[in-house]
């Protein structure tokens, strides 16, 4: 049987970046991707935060940056617009990427560091010895093959089966699931310097976005909270209504459709078991407010790859040893996940009127000096009842 120190299930950013770090730490690494091509089909708005890219140790590249924006507009249900610079907007604002190229470049990083990648190879079962995960059963062109692993990494995305098979609780409540639909639209009238985010009932419980890909093209989509959907096809219908309601978009044409889902839950209690760890969407690491998951996956990839390599090197891949990974990823992203989860729990209850009041209260604040605390104070001064529940989060 073939054997690798680290076998990674999933060739998305979580898997390839974990593979990159594990290979750099000296492990033999195999990444398995069930699709025939890494990065395709795309299921992403393709927005990335510039500082996030730096934090995960990547050099921005013209190969995968489709467009750069100066900032974002936050648009209230009554049409009032708040203009934020790229620095103020933070998450998922700065670059709009070509995700298919980005994912392939991440795979190349891992390969250049020594990892192997096999596409069209599905993991269909976990192998165990003495109750501990020690490999995977794969299927390639109808042929079954077992591969032994020092440690298995579940980077198999939102619909992760690896976590479930390993007995790790990754279940989501309907209120923490968001169904998304997106069009890549062309021939639209937009301000290409700004990504737009629309709040309120245009996207019940979530928001609608427009990530600019060029002077007259953008990814236009929205996410709706699971509890606010009633029948199949609802999300597409809501997106169609939204597109019709925005004059600059209504005249455009869609050149692709994307359906997908994201989690917006509290950080999981545990993402490890004997011989296995989870990362990225499989470990529910998506930011509960923005829905962005690439940067968090990239941040967690360093401790994941390094701890996986170390665990195999010292011959201890027990859940106890993997607490080092739990501590590592939690130190990097857990506080923000918690804070944004608490904020999301509140924001999903806001009415259109509340959003209108918030944007109105902060639109005249000094945006050159803006911080969450100043935004909070501006809203508090005008509508104290709106921020009562936020005091603990922002002070």
How near is the Cβ of 358 to ligand FAD at its closest, in Å? 23
**99 phi and psi angles, rounded to 5 deg:** -60, -35
Which range of residues in 193-201, 235-243, 281-289, 348-356 is near ligand FAD by CB under 6 A? Answer: 281-289
Q: Contact between 157 and ligand FAD (CB under 6 A)?
A: yes
Give whichever of 33 and 310 is closer to ligand FAD, judged by the CB atom. 33
How near is the Cβ of 60 to ligand FAD at its closest, in Å? 15
Contact 31, 107 (CB under 8 A): yes
How near is the Cβ of 92 to ligand FAD at its closest, in Å? 5
Which range of residues in 54-62, 224-232, 280-288, 380-388 is near ligand FAD by CB under 6 A? Answer: 280-288
Contact 22, 168 (CB under 8 A): no
Where would I find the beta strands (DSSP E) of the chain? 2-9, 29-32, 47-49, 65-68, 71-75, 81-85, 94-97, 116-118, 121-129, 132-140, 143-154, 177-186, 194-199, 207-214, 217-225, 253-263, 272-273, 276-278
Query: ω before 229 within 30° of 0 (cis)?
Result: no
Residues of this chain, 282-311, that bind ligand FAD according to CB under 6 A: 282, 286, 291-295, 297
8-state DSSP, 364: T
What's the CA gap between 228 and 135, in Å, rounded?
Answer: 40
Task: Indicate left, alpha or beta for 97 from its phi (over 0: left) and psi (-120 to 50: alpha).
Answer: beta
Contact pattern for ligand FAD over residues 65 through 104, marking x by CB under 6 A: ---------------------------x------------
Residues of this chain, 343-362, that bind ligand FAD according to CB under 6 A: none
Which range of residues in 12-20, 55-63, 231-239, 354-362 is near ligand FAD by CB under 6 A? Answer: 12-20
Residues of this chain, 30-49, that bind ligand FAD according to CB under 6 A: 32-35, 43-48
How near is the Cβ of 16 to ligand FAD at its closest, in Å? 8
Q: Contact between 135 and ligand FAD (CB under 6 A)?
A: no
* Residue 9 β-bridge partners: 32, 154
Handedness of CA 198, 346, 226, 86 (dihedral sign): positive
**Neighbouring residues of 108: CB distance < 8 A, sequence distance ≥ 6:** none
How near is the Cβ of 123 to ligand FAD at its closest, in Å? 4
Give whichever of 111 and 386 is closer to ligand FAD, judged by the CB atom. 111
Task: Tell me which residue of 182, 345, 197 sits closest to 261, measured CA to CA.
Answer: 182
Residues of this chain, 362-391, that bind ligand FAD according to CB under 6 A: none
**Neighbouring residues of 365: CB distance < 8 A, sequence distance ≥ 6:** 374, 375, 378
Instruction: Single out the residue of 94, 221, 252, 275 in contact with ligand FAD (rule: CB under 6 A).
Output: 221
How near is the Cβ of 122 to ligand FAD at its closest, in Å? 4
Helix (H, G, I), strand (E, B) or coil at 127: strand
Size of the site for ligand FAD (CB under 6 A): 41
Q: Contact between 155 and ligand FAD (CB under 6 A)?
A: yes
Note the residues at the interface with ligand FAD (CB under 6 A). Answer: 9-15, 32-35, 43-48, 92, 122-123, 155-157, 161, 180, 182, 221, 258, 260-262, 280-282, 286, 291-295, 297
């Amino acid at each position: 049987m073939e054997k690798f120190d680290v076998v990674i299930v999933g060739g998305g950013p979580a898997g390839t970046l974990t593979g990159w770090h594990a290979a750099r730490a000296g492990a033999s690494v195999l990444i398995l991707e069930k699709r025939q091509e890494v990065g395709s089909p795309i299921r992403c708005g393709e927005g990335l935060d510039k500082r996030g890219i730096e934090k995960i140790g990547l050099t921005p590249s013209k190969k995968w940056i489709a467009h750069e924006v100066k900032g974002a507009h936050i648009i209230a249900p009554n049409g009032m617009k708040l203009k934020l610079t790229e620095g103020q907007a933070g998450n998922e604002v700065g670059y709009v990427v070509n995700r298919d190229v980005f994912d392939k470049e991440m795979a190349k990083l891992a390969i250049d560091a020594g990892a192997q990648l096999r596409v069209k190879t599905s993991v269909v079962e976990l192998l165990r010895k003495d109750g501990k995960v020690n490999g995977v059963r794969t299927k390639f062109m109808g042929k079954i093959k077992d591969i032994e692993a020092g440690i298995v990494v579940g980077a198999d995305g939102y619909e992760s089966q690896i976590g479930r098979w390993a007995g790790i609780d990754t279940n989501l409540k309907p209120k923490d699931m968001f169904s998304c639909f997106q069009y890549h639209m062309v021939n639209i009238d937009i301000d290409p310097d700004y990504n737009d985010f629309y709040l309120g009932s245009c996207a019940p419980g979530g928001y609608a976005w427009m990530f600019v890909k060029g002077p007259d093209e953008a990814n236009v989509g929205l996410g709706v909270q699971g509890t606010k959907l009633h029948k199949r096809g609802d999300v597409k219908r809501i997106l169609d209504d939204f597109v019709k309601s925005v004059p600059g978009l209504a005249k455009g044409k869609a050149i692709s459709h994307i359906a997908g889902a994201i989690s917006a839950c509290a950080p999981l209690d545990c993402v490890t078991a004997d011989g296995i760890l989870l990362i990225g969407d499989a470990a529910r690491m998506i930011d509960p407010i923005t829905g962005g998951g690439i940067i968090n996956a990239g941040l967690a990839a360093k401790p994941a790859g390094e701890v996986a390599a170390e665990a195999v090197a010292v011959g201890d891949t027990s859940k106890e040893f993997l607490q080092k990974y739990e501590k590592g990823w939690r130190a990097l992203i857990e506080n923000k996940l918690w804070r944004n989860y608490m904020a999301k729990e509140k924001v999903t209850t806001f009415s259109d009127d509340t959003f209108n009041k918030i944007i109105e209260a902060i639109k005249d604040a000094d945006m050159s000096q803006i911080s969450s605390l100043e935004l909070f104070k501006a809203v508090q001064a005008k509508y104290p009842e709106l921020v009562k529940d936020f005091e603990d989060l922002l002070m």
